[in-house]
Amino acid sequence: MKDVMVVIKLMMAEKRDILYSILFGVLAGLTSVGLFAMSGYMISKSALAPPLYIITIMTATLKMFGVAKSISRYAERYFSHRATFTILSNLRVSFYEKLVPLAPGIFQKYRSGDLLARIVGDVESLQNFFLRVFYPPIVLVIVFLSTIFFTTYYSIYVALTLFAGLILTGFIVPALFALRQGKIDSQVREERGALSTDVTELLYGFRDLKIYQKLDGKEKQLGKSADLYVDGQEREGIHAVFNQSVNALVALMISWFVLALGAYLVTEGELAGLFLAMLVMISLTVFENATPMALFPAHLEESRHAAARLFSIVEGKSEEEGSSDQLSKEKAYSMEMDGVSYTFLGEKRLTLENIQLNIVAGSKTAIVGPSGSGKSTVLQLLLNMYLADQGDIRLDGSPIDSLAQESIWERTNVVLQENHFFFGTIRENLMIAKDGLTDQEMETALLNVRLDSFSLEDPVFEKGENLSGGEKQRMAIARAMLKGAHVWLLDEPTSSIDAVTEKQIYDQLFEAAKDDTLILVSHRLTGLETMDQIIVMEKGSVIESGTFDELMNKKGYFYEMKQIEKSVLL
């Protein structure tokens, strides 16, 4: 229920539309009852051949009720849907804001398809919360109680019958069906998550599945998930319609009972026959509002589950949480790690163990070591993408957890091993580096990374499919150069680039970063002579550090690696 309270809190931002929805909902309900009551009364009254002016007044009142009913029903739909869409949009924004600080750690816990199913599907399920759970019962109770109050004036017995009908169709019948509907709904949600996960797997792995001729198997699996989901939806639909039909049947039987009771009261002389048709019409109409209540528990359960599934992802994170200290925009900052250890979620072995690092502001550092030794993880920790399990990380002397994440990302030029490119043009992909970039700045950046054969108008396909590995890396470097921050975190930025181009790019890059702090993760050991510091990692630990000459003179691990590299290159 805690999660539903979060939704209610977000909903309350739309108080005005909620009030209008209730107000017009009540008006629509009352005018509808009034319209039918009047028509019932008019039929009986007309049979007694009243003067023409009475019939004219009654006809005019009937028309007035008809028009008022249509207008208020329209207004109710308008305000309730407007409120729903605004609430959904608030919900998406609030959820996204909570999700951002958790990324990319979130991908260790959830598969992307499942995340997508939650963000799209569960948020969408919550639209029923306001439309079908929150305000309709308020409207129903007000309309019903007003009608019952009106009916007591004519017959207390009919009023009591209507009251019993309200309890039966509004609460008892829906509660009887609620349990089974809840089970079906939760199955359908699971099936939706599974289908979404299978679809994303197939889309991401399409090429490899084709090459390894395993596409058929995956497609069959996807087909099965789709069939299960469709079957689930069918079951859900049938059960929902059955619930509504049973509720409608109960409502109809109560109207029959009102007719029989009314007829008996007329014969007993306790009710004027003139009002019998009116009371029956009232009963038929007032239950119109109660029939949708059959789905109330199902929608409530669905909303509760959807909210719980959604907020379980961001549990414990509130918007107020997080630090607000900022790093300086103007200058390069220092970075320190003191006894830092880190283990990936679900892993048993330590990924990083007791790391000591001291990166002086404005210095150039290389981190080298065999594949899997933890170099990239160090960069991720310095970016505050992952949180260290033990030890302290300080940026510019401040503990990393006292700094706003945004400020760290804003002050760093980052090139990771995998960089994302969006569908669009080269210009659009470069423009994400910084606001207000001019075409000339972007063209210079392309020239600096030797991509001047590209024009800013050239297309970029989804995930940069039409760019080679080296071109993608050069685009990523260009983007980092355009950002203009004073700290550089580069994770093997030129691994797919030929040696000549690599040298030219590094010349430009080191010139641009001459006063900045720079960390370069590299497999290659060439060109490290000018670095202020080289950190050598193995199996999650720093095993050596020093300048190029110091490490070569030491004749340790780095020296050995250098000898192997030389022998391979010769």
Ligand X SMILES: Nc1ncnc2c1ncn2[C@@H]1O[C@H](COP(=O)(O)OP(=O)(O)OP(=O)(O)O)[C@@H](O)[C@H]1O
Binding site for ligand X (CB under 6 A): 108, 344, 347, 351, 369, 371-377
| CB contact at 8 A, 177 and 243 | yes
CB of 389 to ligand X, least distance (A): 13
Residues 6+ apart with CB under 8 A from 2: none
**Which residues are 152's β-sheet partners?**
none
Between 113 and 369, name the residue whose CB sits nearer to ligand X. 369
Q: Which is nearer to ligand X, 434 or 539 (CB)?
A: 539
Residue appearing with tokens 């399409």 = 206
CB of 369 to ligand X, least distance (A): 6
| CA separation, residue 134 to residues 25, 131, 194, 244, 400 (Å) | 12, 7, 30, 19, 43
User: Which CB, 33 or 313, lies closer to ligand X?
Assistant: 313
- Between 377 and 508, CB nearer to ligand X: 377
- Residue whose CB is less far from ligand X, 187 or 495: 495
Nearer to ligand X, 23 or 99 (CB): 99
Q: How far is the CB of 370 from ligand X (least distance, A)?
A: 7
Q: Tell me how far, at minimum, the Cβ of 432 lies from ligand X, in Å.
A: 24
* Residue closer to ligand X, measured from CB, 324 or 371: 371
- Decide: 491 and 417 in contact? Cβ < 8 Å: yes
Closest residue by Cα to residue 366 from 555, 553, 567, 561: 561
Report the nearest approach of ligand X to the CB of residue 348 (Å).
11
Please state the closest distance from residue 521 (CB atom) to ligand X, in A: 6
Q: How far apart (Å, rounded) are the C-alpha atoms in residues 227 and 243?
A: 24
Q: Specify burial of residue 509 (Cβ count, 10 A radius: 0-12, 13-18, 19+).
A: buried
Shortest distance, position 347 Cβ to ligand X, whole Å? 5
Quick one: CA dihedral 192, 198, 202, 203, positive or negative? positive
As a whole number of angstroms, the distance between CA 420 and CA 258 comes to: 68
Q: Are strands 364-368 and 533-538 parallel, antiparallel or unpaired?
A: parallel
Closest C-alpha among 339, 335, 384 to residue 358: 335
For 372, the token pair is 């899997």
Which residue in the block uniquely carries the two structure tokens 């040696």?
A: 499
